[in-house]
Amino acid sequence: MALLEVKDLRTSFHTDDGVVKAVDGVSFSIEKGETLGIVGESGCGKSVTCLTIMGLNPKRNTTSSGQVLWKGKELLGAKPRELREIRGDEMSMIFQDPMTSLNPVHSIGKQLVEAVQLHRDVTKKVARARALELLKAVGIPRAENRFDDYPHQFSGGMRQRVMIAMALVNDPDLLIADEPTTALDVTTQAQILNLMKRLQQEFGSAILMITHDLGVIAETADDVVVMYAAKVVEQAKVDDLFSRPQHPYTWGLMGSLPRLEADVERLTQIPGQPPSLLRPPSGCRFHPRCPYVMDVCKTKEPLLAPTHHDPDHRQACHLDEETKEREAAKLLAATMAEAG
Amino acid sequence: MFRYLVRRMLWAIVLFLVIMFVTFVIFFMAPSDPARAVCGGDQARPECLVRATEKLGLDKPIYDQYGRFIGRLMPVSKPISRDGGLHFVTPHFKTPSLGTSFATSQDINQRILQAAPVTASLVFGGAVLWMLVALSIGIFSALKPRSLLDRGAMIFVLIGVSAHPVWIGLILSYSFGVRWDITPIANYAPFFGAPADSGLPGGPWQWFYHMILPWCTFALLFSALYVRMIRANVMETLNEDFVRTARAKGAPERRVLIQHVLRNALLPTVTMLGMDIGVALGGAIFTEQIFQLPGLGRTAIGAIGNQDLALVQGVVVFSTIAILVFNLIVDLLYAWIDPRIRLT
C-alpha cells in the first residue's frame, strides 16, 4: 500500500466571477521514504493540491472531490479532529515564504515546543529537549542560545531551517514542501535542499516537493509530476523524464533552465501566459502556447496515457510518438552539446 | 530601555510646556477680563478690579504670566539667594498648584481632584464595556464573515457610528430611567461613599448603579469603531501565513485563534485604546452633560461659561498629562507585546 495515494483529485473555488477549477483530476502516489516532485508554473494548482491533501483549504466556497488515501484511509471529508491528529504528526508541511510563515510574536522555541506538545503528551522540558535536538539537526548555530529568539532575529535561510525543524519535530512519514527554496537566495537554496536530503535519510520521511524549478526536481525527486493549468500533463520517474521528456510543455520548462556551460544570449521561454483557470482553453490547455499545435489540440482534450516505452511514464499530448521521440532526442542532444 | 524611558519623559515634558504655552496664549488672546470675573462680573467695584489685576499679575507681560503659571506647577520652588550671590541652595519641595479659580476662588487642584474620579469612572468603566462588546462581536463576525451575526454587527456599527451620544443618552435615560424605572437618570455616586452628612448615595453598588447608563452611552460609539477595527484586523490576520503554519502543525482552531491570531490582530487595538482613554480622560463632555456627572468635561464647560480661565487651564493641564501618560503606557505595552519593536 502506498503511503499517500491521490486519485482524481479535483478542487474548485467558487468566486464571484465563477468557478475556478484549481485542481482538475490529479492522481499520483508516494511510497514510503521516496520523493515525489510536482513541477509547474505559478498558478497551475500545485500548492492547492497539497493544501487539499492537508485539508488546509479555506472551508468557504471550496469543494473537493476524488480521493486522498493516507495509509489507505480517506482524508477528503474526514473529521477535522482526525485531520488535526495527522497534520503536524504523521504528515507535516513547510511553506514557501519563511519570512511570514513563523508567528512574529512567539519565540521560535515556543513554536517548536507547541508543535511537539500538540501531538505528544510530554512535559515542557521533554518537548524543549526534542525541539533543541531538531534545531541542532537543521544546523542552527548555538541553538541553545537562540531558542528564545524571535523569528525577526533570524535570516530567511535560518527561518526556513526553523520551519523544517518544526515540520520534522514529530518525525513525520511525509513532509510536504511547498516551494521551500523559492524565497531564498541561491546559495541558501542549495544548503536547504542538501539539508532536506540529509534529513530525509536520517528520518526516513517521504517528501512531496512542490516547485517551479526543474533543477530542484533533478536534485531531489524520485518521481515527477508535471502540472499545467490544474492538470497533469506528464508523469514519470525522474531519470526517464529528463532523458525522454514527452510533452511540449516539459520541453519548454527544460529549455528555460539556465545553464552555466551554455553560451546562449538569453533563455528560451515558453511564449504567452498560463491560462486563467476561470475559463481554461478548449481541448488541450497548453495549445495556445504550444509550438507544435495541431487542429485536434484545439477541440479534443488529450488524456493522460502511458507511453509505449514505459507504462509508468504517462503523458497527455496528441503528438505522434515519432515526433515526440525526435524532439526529445533533439532537446537532449542540445543539452548534452551545451554541457559539452 | 531605561534610556528610552528617560528620553520619552524628557520629550513629554517639552511637549507639555509647549501645549501649556499654546493654551495660555489662546486664553490671553481671547476677549475676556479675568479681573472682572474674579470681582463678580458687571457689578465689580473699581478698587476690586485694581487689586485683582495686581494679584493675578494681569498687568505683567505674557511671558511673565506664563513663567509664574509654570512656576506654580513645578514641584520645587525657585531657590532664592538672600544676598543676590550664587550659592548652592537646597531646592524647596512643594505641591504643584494650578492656582485658584477666578470665579469662585476655590483651589483648582481641589476642583480637579473632585472631578477626575468621576471622569475616570466613566472612561475606564466605559472602556471595559466597549472592549468586552467589541472583542466578542468583532472576533465572532471576523470568524463568520457575511453570516447573519456579521451583518447584524455591521448594522450595529452603522448605528453606533452615526447616532449622536446625546441622542443615545436621552433615549437610554428615557427608556430605562423614566419609562421602566430601572436605573437612575442622572447624578454621580462616589465609589468610596458620599460624605456622611450629605445624605447622598455612595458606595460601590450605588456607584455602579448610577454609572450603568453613562457607560452604555459613552461606550456605544467606541464599541462600534472598535468592532470594525477588530473585525478587520482579525480577518486580515486569519489570512497570514503563520496562521496556516499553526493549522499545519495540527493546532485546533481555538488554539490557532487565541495563540496565533489574536495576539497579532490586537496590536493596533492596544494603540488605539491607550490614545482614546487618554483623550477621553480630558472629559467626556456629552455623556457627563446628559447624566449630570460632575466630571472634567462639565467642569470645563462651566468654567468656559464663567470665563474662569484658571479653571479651564487646570482641566487642560490634567488632560494633557493624561494623554502623555497614556501614550507612554501604550508604547511600553506595545514593545512588551510585540518583540519586533525595540525600545532604544
Q: Which residue has the higher pLDDT, A332 or B42?
A: A332
Domains of chain A and CATH, by start: 4-225 (3.40.50.300), 243-339 (no CATH)
* B294 plus B226 within the same structural domain: yes
| A82 interfaces chain B, CB cutoff of 8 Å | no
Domain-located, residue B236? yes
Express as a percent the part of chain B with pLDDT over 90: 10
User: Nearest 5°: phi and psi at A142?
Assistant: 50, 50
Q: Is A38 exposed, middle or buried (0-12, 13-18, 19+ CB in 10 A)?
A: buried
* B48 plus B144 within the same structural domain: no
The predicted model scores a pTM of: 0.80
Give the chain A residue nearest B265 (alpha carbons).
A105
Give residue A115's Cα distance to chain centre: 22
Measure the CA–CA gap between A134 and B150, rounded to whole angstroms.
Answer: 43
The nearest CA of chain A is from the CA of B338 a distance in Å of: 6
Domain boundary among B93, B121, B146: B93
| Mean pLDDT of all residues in B226-251 | 91
Say which CATH number the domain at B286 has: 1.10.3720.10
Grid cell at residue B299: 467642569
Confidence tier at B308 by pLDDT (50, 70, 90)? confident
* B56 plus B125 within the same structural domain: no
The range of the structural domain enclosing residue B310 comes to: 112-337
* Tens of pLDDT, residues B247-301: 999 899 899 998 899 988 988 898 888 888 888 887 788 888 888 888 888 888 8
Domain-located, residue B196? yes
- The DSSP secondary-structure symbol of A87 reads B
| A24 interfaces chain B, CB cutoff of 8 Å | no
| B92 interfaces chain A, CB cutoff of 8 Å | no
pLDDT score of B87 more than 70: no
Q: What value of ipTM does the predicted structure carry?
A: 0.86
* B77 plus B221 within the same structural domain: no
Helices (H), B239-280: 241-248, 253-255, 263-265, 267-280
Place of cell 465563477: A18
| B167 interfaces chain A, CB cutoff of 8 Å | no
Provide the pLDDT for residue B342: 67
Confidence tier at B197 by pLDDT (50, 70, 90)? low
pLDDT score of B36 more than 80: no
Place of cell 523559492: A182
* B60 plus B123 within the same structural domain: no
Kind plus residue range of the DSSP H or E element containing A66? strand A62-70
Task: Give the closest of B245, B250, B340 to A85, CB-based.
Answer: B250
* B143 plus B260 within the same structural domain: yes
Grid cell at residue B228: 470594525
Confidence tier at B194 by pLDDT (50, 70, 90)? low
* B27 plus B174 within the same structural domain: no
* DSSP state string for B13-53: HHHHHHHHHHHHHHHHHSS--HHHHHTTGGG--HHHHHHHH
What tens-digit pLDDT sequence spans chain A (340 residues)?
Answer: 789 999 999 999 998 888 999 999 999 999 998 999 999 888 888 889 999 999 888 888 899 999 999 998 999 888 889 999 999 899 999 988 888 999 999 999 999 999 999 999 999 999 999 999 989 888 888 989 999 999 999 988 889 989 999 998 998 999 999 988 888 888 888 888 888 888 888 888 999 999 988 888 988 899 999 999 999 999 999 999 988 899 999 988 887 766 555 555 556 678 888 888 888 899 999 999 888 889 999 999 999 999 888 888 999 999 888 888 888 888 888 777 766 5
Domain count, chain B: 2
| A14 interfaces chain B, CB cutoff of 8 Å | no
Domain-located, residue B290? yes
Give the chain A residue nearest B259 (alpha carbons).
A106
Contacts of B248 in chain A (CB under 8 A): 54, 56, 87-88, 92-93, 95
Give the chain B residue nearest A53 (alpha carbons).
B248
* B135 plus B264 within the same structural domain: yes
Give the chain B residue nearest A95 (alpha carbons).
B245
**Closest C-alpha to A44, from A32, A57, A29, A26:** A26
